Structure formats: C-alpha cells, structure tokens
Structure 1
Amino acid sequence: MSRPTIAAVARAAGVSVASVSRVLNGLPATGEMTERVRRAVQELGYVPDARARSLKVGRTFQLTLAVADVGNPVYVTMMRAVEEVVSAAGYRLVVTTTGRDVVDEVALVRGMARGYADGLVISPLRVDDDLIKSIRECEVPVVVAGNVPARAGVDTVRANSPKGIRLAVDHLVARGRRRIAFLNGPADTVPGTARAKGFADALKAHDLHPAATAEAADFTFPAGRAAAPRLPAAGKLDAVICANDLLAVGVMHELAANGLRVPEDVAVVGMDDSELAEQSFPPLTSVNLGSAERGRRAAELLLARIEDSTRTPRRIVVQPSLSVRRSTP
C-alpha cells in the first residue's frame, strides 16, 4: 500500500493542500479546519516526511525541554504538560537534563546553535550572568521555567514559592504547631533561595522563630533521609516543612526508622504536590506550585515566540495552593 500524501489528506478533509500545511506546521487556523485536518490525518494514517518538511520551512519541528532531574516527579508533570501543547502544534519534544552546575546549563543553551531544535524551555537550578548572556544570545527562542532577572529580557514562567511556604506555615500554625523546622535543598539554587526567604518571612509574620533549619545536599529522597538527623528531636520541634516532596518523603522515612509517628509526633509538609505526595504513607500535605500549569504556559510562550520573535517578553507567575493530607493533623 502506498504511503498517504498531503494531497490525499486535503481531499479527505475537504480543504486545500495549503490549509493542511498550515495545520501541520502549527500555524493559525480555524478550529473547524484544524479538526477536519486532524481527523483526516488519523483516518489515513498520514505521517509527514520530517526531513522534507524541515528543509522546506527551515525548521526541525523539534523542541527541547531541559530540566535538572528527569526522574523528579515534578519535572515529569511539567514534561507531560509541555508535550501536550507542542505536539498539538505539530512539534516533537526532546527532554534532556541541565545538570546541577550552571556551567552545564550554559553549555546546553549555547549548544542550541547546532540546529537540532527550534526552541528551548529550560528550568535552571542555578542562574548567573553567563547563563543570562547565553540565553539572550541564543540563536533559537528560549523560555525559562523559573526565575531570572527582568534584565534578561526573556519569557519566563515561575512559581510563587514564598507564598507557597506562607500557606504551609499558616496551615501548621492554625493546627497548633509552633516549633516548625525547615529542610531546604541547596541554598544557592533558584528554588532554595526563594523557599528559604519565604520560610523566614512566614515565621516572622507569626512572630515565631525557626525550631531549626537544615540544608540537604540535593533535592532528592536520599538527601532528605541523610539531612533529617540534623533536625532536632521530636519535642523540640513539632513540624517540618521541606523544600520539595522528595525531601519530605525522605524525612518521613527517617522519622519512622526512629520510631516517630507522622503527624502525631511531627507533622510534615512538602512542596510540589507531585504524584509522590499522594503515594506516600501517610499521604503528604504539600504545596501545589502549579507544575502542569507552568509547563503549559511555558510551551505556549515558546510557540508564540517562534511565530513572532519581536513580541515583548512576558513574565508569568503561577500562584500556589495547599493540598492538605494526613501528614498534618
């Protein structure tokens, strides 16, 4: 059987070949036209010739998402949201890691000049002037899922982490917890800096002092278990807020290993509200930082930037919410 052609798709959809091309290339089209073309593509099993398409329009129709840790559930959620948006526009998504060093992040951005993708969504752990410079000079559009200075002149989507910490502290105080500790990831990272400041400000608003603060080596489950012994014993604290869910679950495992109960002895709150929060035992109260919404908005900004490189950069802030589960009373 011969391979379906774009002309066959046009005939099946009852539209012109140009209209099919517009839809497949992710260009503006009416909802009705888009639906007719997509239905015809599915019925015929049409697969575009990616090589010919790329040569014709000067695009790879491939986009890159770069995150610090592809195994972190929050990045998996973000990846799914980005992929849903870009695939609907006719792009493939390639996921890669930035590495934990800003030098690796810079190298990744500069590597975009090799032309293997039409744009990049990057979620950097660390930001410095070299990274900002490389983003500004990048030969393809870049959207940052994170916080960079406004002077970078780049589209950004970030979470309001300080407000999220405030929601967690307010919740614990309302439940009668006063001796609250904070377990952060590396403080020199973008999320580490924002969440540390948020914790200090939230306690000050309640006229409280931290029961303790500790810094894990990374934002991972093993790092959470390893850092937990640096927190005070139960009785000297009655709650712990952790900078993400992986750290929080690590802390809960360490508490259980020492015969302590969550939440009876120590309440625990995480951040990200990932799938892990619902799967942990007990289920983890966690701050939802809108990872899916951030991924979706970042993908939309990238597609808009690809179509119009002159548009004014946007800075979007996604607001948090608190998902209360059994790890807090």
Structure 2
Amino acid sequence: MAERPTLVQVAQHAGVSLASASRALSGQGAGKKTTEKVRKAAQELGYVPDATARSLKFGRKLQVAFAVDDIGNPVYVEMLRAIESELSQHGIRLFVSDTGSTPEETVEILHDLKRGFADGLIISPLRITEELTRAIEESPVPVVVIGAFGPSQKVDTIKTDSARGVELAVRHLTENGCTRIGFINGPLDTTPGQARQRGFDRAVPGGQFQHIADSFTVSGGYEAARILLDRLHEDGAEVDAIVAANDLLAMGVIRAAAQRGVRVPDDMQVVGIDDTDFADNFNPPLTSVSLGSRERGRLAAQLLLERINDPSRKTSHHTVLPELIVRSSTIQPRSLPDNQ
C-alpha cells in the first residue's frame, strides 16, 4: 500500500518552509498567498491531516458544532455545506444538531459544550430568549450566531437584511404592474418572521391581504394560502401577487393556487425568500430573494476559526445583503423602446 503523503512533502511541493505549511493548514496565521499555495499542494498530493495528532498538539477536539432549528430546511443545508467546506480545509470535523425549534433545547446544547466535545459552535436560532442569550454569551467555547442577536457586543454575528429582501420582492411585483399584493408569513414569534413582517409593512402600508402560517414549511404555506384565497373569494376580492416569507411557503402558495385553478404567473405572481436550490427546480421556477445562505455559512466558519485561534480578537459583525433572483413565477417587466 502506498505511503500517505507527509506535511514535509506538502511543504516541498508548495515551495515553503515546514513551519509555514503547518500554519497554513492549521489556520494559525499564514499569509493568504502562502495558504493558497499550501492548500493547493495538499490537494494535489492527496494529503490528509492526522486529526488525532493535531488535536493533541493544539489541545483541541478539532470538531465544531452547528446547531439549527430544522435541519430539513434547505437554507440550513446550504449553510451546512459552506461551513463544512471551509472547516474541512483545516482538518476540522463538523457535528450537526437539530434543536427542534425550541430555545430550551438550544440552551441544553450550549450547556453540553462544557463537556468539551467541540472547539466552537455555530448557531442559527429562530427564537431568541433571555436564557439563550445568556447561555451564548457565557459559552465556554467560541460561538458565532448566524442571524440577528440584539445589541450584544460579546458574540460574533453574521446576519442578513430580510426586511429589505421583502421590500425588493414587493418593488419587483409593483414594477410588474401588480397592485393587490398579498403576504404569507411564518410565525411572528421568530426572528425571521418579525423581520419579514417589518419589511412588508414598510413596503405595503396597511396591507390587508395577509395570513400567518403556523410554520415555515410547504404545508404551512399551502394551508395559509388556502385560507387567504378562500377568504378573498368570499369577499369577492382577489390578489394579483403574493410574497411568501420563504421558498417553502411560496411552494405551498403555488400548490394552493393550482388547486383553485389560479395560474402562476398568468393569474397571480409569486415571490419567495431565501433562493434555495429548490427555487430553481420548482415548476414554475420560483422568483426569490437570495439572503446569501452559503455566504453566511462561509463567513460564520471563518469567524469561528479566527475566534478559536485568537480568543482576544475584537468582536465582528457582518451583514450579507439580499439580492432578487427573477424566474418564471413572476412576469419580468417589459422594457420600453429607447425612443420612449
């Protein structure tokens, strides 16, 4: 059996010193160009760090935890892939935990960190409580929060502006000529539910065509849209567009519309939020607002590695801006001739 490539061989292949190669692969402060050369050399040689030896050397488990409220949500799957890709370059394993949407279970995970099973935690909670805030701030290992985390200056955060994302969706529909725009939101006791409601209230003041789903799921969106459309039908009213607070809700909206014989986008346009992989593969392909799930995951992993390597580093807060991705569930506005 062929011998495994060594770190010495990686250093020689990259044309750097052994110390530089070690720093580059462990995230211990090598320059960007050096790190890129060393990682490329390691990949070409098929070098795999010895996790056991490294954990003994650095006094770490070389494992990071990622806690989410619903691992089945495609947003979290995209974050997970980005986080795992970033961590694997440093020989660090990723442990994933589904908290079941309850702050209490999330707090339990934070308390379990005292057992030393992970070097750090990335968390993306739907609901923030005082107990959860306190547990995060008092965590025995570094924590990075993906999402809004109040005024705390003790924790690194990566957030997005989903309220602005909803405003982008409404603006797009308005430019398409829509005048009666509805909104299907998720639970208002969640951080995304509150933010997306603020965005819709700003974009459509006094908007009357709304319904709150019991969850950010396809079934939740279907039931909420069915109730809204039935109510409007009884009132002799209708909407020409609906913004859904995430892609799963939007898919439920389209399903409910189809059962009523409402065609998307001909009779009613639909926009989702998150721009998950499902959006591009749905029928019709779903116009959606990207909140940069992959980028948020990547930045969270980088921040956590930096915090692990330098616990005294100044706290960082980053915002990933939303971007509208137009597909077939809405009608793109026609451009006027140049002479008009």
TM (normalized to structure 1)?
A: 0.91
Taking the aligned partners of 1:153 and 1:198, their CA distance within structure 2 comes to 27
- Once the two structures are overlaid, the 10-residue window that deviates more, 17-26 or 217-226, is 17-26
8 Å contact from structure 2 (residues 245, 273) kept in 1: yes
The aligned runs of 1:148-167 (5 Å cut-off) are: 148-151=149-152, 153-167=154-168
Match of 1:230 in 2: 227
Which residue number in structure 1 is paired with residue 147 of structure 2?
A: 146
Show CA shifts across 1:51-75 (max 9, x none).
2221221112222222222222222
- The 8 Å contact of residues 26 and 90 in structure 1, kept in 2 or not, is answered as no
Unaligned runs of 5+ in 1: none
Question: What is the aligned counterpart of 2:211 among 211, 214, 227?
Answer: 214
> CA shift at 1:42, angstroms?
4.0
C-alpha separation between the residues in 2 aligned to 1:266 and 1:40?
Answer: 53
User: Which has the higher mean CA deviation after the structures are superposed, 249-258 or 62-71?
Assistant: 62-71
Identity percentage of aligned residues:
50
Residue of structure 1 equivalent to 2:334: none
Establish whether residue 303 from structure 1 lines up as the match of residue 300 from structure 2.
no
**1:11 to partner: Cα distance:** 5.1
Aligned to 2:337: none
Deviation track 1:163-198 (CA, whole Å, cap 9, x = no partner) reads 111111111122222222111111100101111111
Unaligned runs of 5+ in 2: 332-340
Counterpart Cα distance in 2 of 1:36 and 1:168 = 42
1:65 aligns to what SS in structure 2? strand
| Residues 265-306 of structure 1: per-residue CA shift (max 9 Å, x gap) | 221110001111111111111111111221122122112211
Deviation at 1:258, TM superposition (A): 1.7
Partner amino acid for 2:103? V
Amino acid at match of 1:296: R
Letter in 2 for 1:210: G
- Report the counterpart of residue 262 of structure 1 in structure 2: 264
3-state DSSP class of the match of 1:69? coil
The alpha carbon displacement at 1:7 in A equals 4.2
SS in 1 for 2:210: strand
Q: Would you say how many aligned residue pairs link Structure 1 and Structure 2? A: 325
Task: Give the superposition deviation at 1:45.
Answer: 3.9
Partner of 1:23: 24
Give RMSD over aligned pairs: 2.1
The residue that corresponds to 2:335 in the other structure is none
Kindly indicate whether the alpha-carbon contact (under 8 Å) linking 1:118 and 1:140 is maintained by their aligned counterparts in 2. Answer: yes
Q: Structure 1 residues 3 and 277, CA, compared in 2 at 3 Å: closer, same or farther?
A: closer
Q: In structure 2, the residue corresponding to 1:231 is in which secondary structure?
A: helix
Judge which range, 89-98 or 176-185, deviates more: 89-98
